[in-house]
Amino acid sequence: MERVSLYSIYEKEFAYTAGTAVLPACCSVSRCGETEEGSYMVSAFQKKEGVYAVRIMPEQMGEYRYRIWLKGSEESEEIKLEGAFVCVEPREGRHGKVQTKEDGFVYTDGTRFLPFGTTCYAWTHQPEELQEQTVNTLRKSCFNKLRMLLFPKFMPYNEDDPAVYPFGQGEEGEWDVNRIVPAYWDNLDLRLRQLEELGIEADLILFHPYDKWGFAEMTQEASLLYVSYCVARLAAYHNVWWSLANEYEMLMKKNVENWDDYGCLLQKEDPYHHLISIHQILQLYPKKGWMTHCSVQSGNIDFIPAWKKEYQLPVLIDECGYEGDLEYGWGNLSAFDMVDRFWWTVTRGGYCTHGETFHREDAVLWWGKGGVMHGESEPRIRFLKELLYELPGCGTAAVHGVYTNPNGKKGEEMTEADRHFNRLIESTPVENLTGLMAEVHKVISTDSWQLRYYGRTCPCFTWLELPENGRYRIEVIDVWEMTRMTVLHGAVGRTRISLPAHPGMAVLAMKERFW
Amino acid sequence: MERVSLYSIYEKEFAYTAGTAVLPACCSVSRCGETEEGSYMVSAFQKKEGVYAVRIMPEQMGEYRYRIWLKGSEESEEIKLEGAFVCVEPREGRHGKVQTKEDGFVYTDGTRFLPFGTTCYAWTHQPEELQEQTVNTLRKSCFNKLRMLLFPKFMPYNEDDPAVYPFGQGEEGEWDVNRIVPAYWDNLDLRLRQLEELGIEADLILFHPYDKWGFAEMTQEASLLYVSYCVARLAAYHNVWWSLANEYEMLMKKNVENWDDYGCLLQKEDPYHHLISIHQILQLYPKKGWMTHCSVQSGNIDFIPAWKKEYQLPVLIDECGYEGDLEYGWGNLSAFDMVDRFWWTVTRGGYCTHGETFHREDAVLWWGKGGVMHGESEPRIRFLKELLYELPGCGTAAVHGVYTNPNGKKGEEMTEADRHFNRLIESTPVENLTGLMAEVHKVISTDSWQLRYYGRTCPCFTWLELPENGRYRIEVIDVWEMTRMTVLHGAVGRTRISLPAHPGMAVLAMKERFW
């Protein structure tokens, strides 16, 4: 019996002739256990003229059986195929698909996933050599998530027509989703496999507005069919995430209900329930049942706690400006500011995504086309990522600080004025708090550690409030120089720590084991 | 006849015994012109036991007459004094009091005033030597406005009792405004005269919450009497501004109506109608008729256009953090960030105030006690101030940019998507726009120039949209290095300007005369 490693793809091709991208047929999958629980349906998708396939991602070890039949006719003679395979141990380093857990993420096997994403919107629409270069760059980078478009992109620095489109066109020039272009989808498969090899989650953006070809203006019927095709073909990759849109409000031909329809369709048709989000330009899309996390475009990183409270979902700042030197305000952060936004985001309880936009006459910008990176933020982002992965419970059990009176006393020493200030804070909308000249705590912590980031501020010392029931080792961290210096052992209670009074400092307090 | 220069103070002392700080008497002032228009009333104030005075600031040249009588008894025998003086040309550099004009400020004689303030809250409560040092530091600085408290200040780095208080205490320890302490007020007079000599506007903060002595908790009756005394004694200084509060919401014993009462009293009693504002910690005080400008505490400088629209008043960012290295988030901006906030503020259409808070074991911090400055922002603030004063019409006739689609086409080339984006922007609350990853224009301009600031962004080039009916000289400005380089003459229309791709750059386009 064919062997498939856990979380890998079992694919069954079969000859069939029909005029549709998604076959009006189903594949029933069941795992042979003590009971037959866990059976589910997947659709077949056209690979090329006369050839369809189904893909199955086994999520438990053991024997699987499947049957493929025309939809609605399970009892009829039209069953095409039956088969079985055995799911064996996963390949090294595979942990399954990423799912949410509280305000963070874990793989199927429970391993933590801390998203450290980057952005190469149209990389799969570039010449093959450039795509390979992108893969090689990603291999050497720290990034474990990639925002990418399925449709080609048209905007400044992205003005080329791609070599192939996902579909052919009908008689009136409209895109016909049923005319699958194999070269496009085979290449996409290749790139998803490569990302999978690199341990990178593919955050697939299904629709976006930067379009001159008409993909953003397909009918709702065609758009839904396209989403169904994506599910049938791509959901079996454990490393796929669904992002309904880049800047959903900018797609003028779609309304709020259209987006909800895509989300509901994904929720219904994707048997693996991959992560689903929708990215905005101004107003976050209202919370829906299909939404697994907030994918936010904003420079207002201090809003993260408010969004987490409102949506009760993890928050990814998937766009907060890109490191670079473009003429556009969204694409000319200094490397320091890109790094600052990562630290700021994680210490406000979210996760951040990188992008790079250095002006080039050949218009090959990492953010648009991939290639190589030219910036200075990536090693610093790696430094942060490695630090966070060291922290037990980080990403799945962190608690987050709030605004407090910087001059105020704590606990029993609180004065009436302190309580008055705290009441003011509680009754003030978050958008007014972001301008507050008080201390905005950028801190995440658990019982065993706290990580505090000082952002662009330049304190020459700071006070830590450490629990009385432990003793702590204190590190002073320079986020730009990537240095970590232990300055104190055995700290307890209110502790003063000297700092070098320049931007980009952090302090880590870690509970010591042997006290 | 006694000669008084224009905008200076004519003071008439007279012996009188009464138990009140403000005499229930009035001084009627009239200027002898073709008509007797322009007569007004001022109150007498106690200078010391048995001595009262009235102060008059002549605002036009010519002969003035005054009569002092007990209130309500002009026709009686109780007139104490009559007199006259002649108002002559102003001393060099005197332009009168500052008033608002559109969204900026002018002196009485029409000369522009561009506020570049600093902050020495409790400087007049320090030992004399330190006060003199503060004056000497101010003399060498670029600052033309000073935020200062009338009551002493109690908070971290400000824990000393002052040598004198403004009033004595009653039998139960309450402050008795009628028991004026001459040493306090004589010193305040001295300091206001010194500021006047230096061309510095004294932004006098009447109430504040950082108090352990009880001034913040005086009865409303006592508080109103204190305000009346301030008007009677201090309004004749042309360089006085009234700030009702520092952080009004933090004064727990005052309610919204109390503040309105102070504002109304000032508006009624101050014959010169000096500027009046009220400074907040979180929520701007609602607009009132007595309010001449917004005195804002916020790091959300991008809100300036929204506040200007709502209040239809000039906006001063009177607190946006201080250059320094304190443990508190409000007092540890880098020098670059302090300078950045000045540029950001002025190119969003407001004015900014400096403060400095470097930690010192002797607790003599410029922001609290004065003394000397240790930072690096002041020369850069001077550089900006001198630049703005070069720009004709700046501060009185500037128009300000708005959010636009950075990728969008202009004018007739606008696409449907550009218009769609602009509609989205218009329908979005400003607090959501501040996080927008699009171009936030930081630009002020008139017909003859435009000044654009790039903030922390790092473009390697920029496009200017210059009018077609002129030719422009283009300067590239480094706000930190304080350099100005002319890079182009004769520019017109859409013009590309190379920039060095680091934070802190500005571009000035100045219409050339001879085209």
Over the stretch B16-50, which tens digit does the pLDDT of each residue have?
888 899 986 677 888 886 455 678 889 999 999 99
Query: Which residues on A lie below 8 Å from B459 (Cβ)?
Result: 325-328, 332
Which pLDDT does position A471 carry in this prediction? Answer: 95
Mean of pLDDT over chain B: 91
- pLDDT range class, residue B306, cuts 50, 70, 90: confident
* B61 DSSP 8-state letter: S
**Do A156 and B249 count as a contact with CB atoms less than 8 A apart?**
no
Q: Which of B254, B319, B332, B463 has the highest number of chain A CBs within 10 A, making it the mutation to test binding with A?
A: B332
Best mutation target among B153, B253, B254, B282 (most A Cβ atoms within 10 Å) is B282
What pLDDT is attached to residue B408? 61
Rounded to a whole number of angstroms, the distance from the CA of A316 to the nearest CA of chain B is 15
Contact indicator for B313, B291 with CB cutoff of 8 Å: yes
- Tokens representing A232 are 């049938």
Q: Pick B439's closest partner by Cβ from A252, A329, A459.
A: A329
Q: Identify the pLDDT of residue A513.
A: 81
| Distance, CA of A335 to CA of A324 (rounded, Å) | 8
Q: Do A435 and B460 touch (CB under 8 A)?
A: no
Kindly report the length of chain A: 515
How many Å is the Cα radius of gyration of chain B?
25
Predicted structure pTM score: 0.94
Judge: A407–B337 Cβ closer than 8 Å, yes or no: no
> Is B312 buried (19+), middle (13-18) or exposed (0-12) by CB count in 10 A?
exposed
What's the confidence (pLDDT) of residue A72?
A: 52
What's the angle, vertex CA B261, arms to CA B258 and CA B266, rounded to 5?
A: 135
Please determine, for residue B402, whether its predicted confidence score (pLDDT) is greater than 60: no
Measured distance between the N- and C-terminal CA atoms of chain B, rounded to whole angstroms? 56
Residue A227 to residues A18, A376, B303, Cα–Cα distance (Å):
19, 37, 40
Say what the ipTM of the complex is.
Answer: 0.91
Residues A100 and A302: their CA atoms lie apart, in Å, by 22
- A437/B359 CB distance under 8 A: no
Q: For A278-295, what is each residue's pLDDT tens digit?
A: 999 988 999 999 999 999
CA distances from A28 to A236, A298, B506 (A): 14, 42, 64
CA-nearest of A42, A28, A153 to A84 is A28
Cα(B269)–Cα(B232) distance, rounded to whole angstroms? Answer: 8
Distance from the Cα of B151 to chain A's closest Cα (Å) equals 18
User: Which pLDDT score is estimated for A430?
Assistant: 67
Quick one: how far is CA A480 from the chain centroid?
Answer: 24
Residue of A nearest to B454 (CA): A329
Nearest chain B alpha carbon to A299:
B435
Min Cα distance B446 → chain A (Å) is: 23
Three-class SS of residue B498? strand
Q: Sign of torsion, CA B324 B328 B330 B336?
A: positive
Of B328, B437, B458, nearest to A406 by CB-CB distance is: B328
Q: In A320-460, where do the E strands start and end? A: 323-324, 351-353, 356-357, 399-400, 443-445, 449-453
Cβ–Cβ of A406/B432 closer than 8 Å? no
Closest approach of B320 to chain A, Cα-based (Å): 7
Task: Write down the pLDDT at residue A344.
Answer: 92
Mean pLDDT per 10-residue interval, chain A, length 515 residues: 96 89 81 70 93 94 88 59 94 97 94 97 98 98 98 96 97 95 98 98 97 97 98 98 97 97 97 97 94 94 88 96 94 96 93 98 98 98 97 75 58 79 78 63 81 94 91 97 97 95 96 78
What are the φ and ψ backbone dihedral angles of A455, each rounded to 5 degrees? Answer: 60, -135
Do residues A352 and A299 touch, judged by C-beta distance below 8 A?
Answer: no
Instruction: Give the pLDDT of residue A44.
Output: 92
Q: Is the pLDDT of residue B75 over 80?
A: no
Q: Which of A151-160, B12-21, B126-135, B196-205 has the lowest mean pLDDT?
A: B12-21
Residue B438, pLDDT > 60, answer: no
Ordered strands of the A51-56 beta sheet: A2-5, A81-88, A62-70, A22-31, A40-48, A51-56, A10-15
Judge whether residue B286 has pLDDT over 90. Answer: yes
CA dihedral for A194, A200, A201, A204, sign (positive or negative): negative
- Confidence at residue A398, expressed as pLDDT on a 0 to 100 scale: 62
Nearest CA distance, B179 vs chain A (angstrom): 29
Q: How far is the alpha carbon of A166 from chain B, nearest alpha carbon, in Å? A: 24
How many DSSP H helices and E strands does chain B contain? 10, 30
Q: Of the candidates A155, A282, A460, which has its C-beta nearest B432's C-beta? A: A282
Cα B17–Cα B20–Cα B22 angle in degrees, nearest 5: 105
Q: Which residues of B touch A463 (CB under 8 A)?
A: 327
Residues in chain A within 8 Å Cβ distance of B407: 155-156, 328
Q: How many CA atoms lie within 13 A of A223 on its CB side?
A: 23
pLDDT tens per residue across span B382-397: 999 999 999 988 877 6
Q: Determine the pLDDT at residue A17.
A: 84
> Which band of pLDDT confidence, cut at 50, 70 and 90, is reported for residue B425?
confident
**Cβ distance of A329 and B457 shorter than 8 Å:** yes
Query: Per-residue confidence at B127, pLDDT binned at 50, 70, 90?
Result: very high
For the segment B233-239, the average pLDDT, to the nearest whole number, is 98
Contact present, B181 and B164 (Cβ < 8 Å): yes
Query: What integer is the mean pLDDT of B443-470?
Result: 90
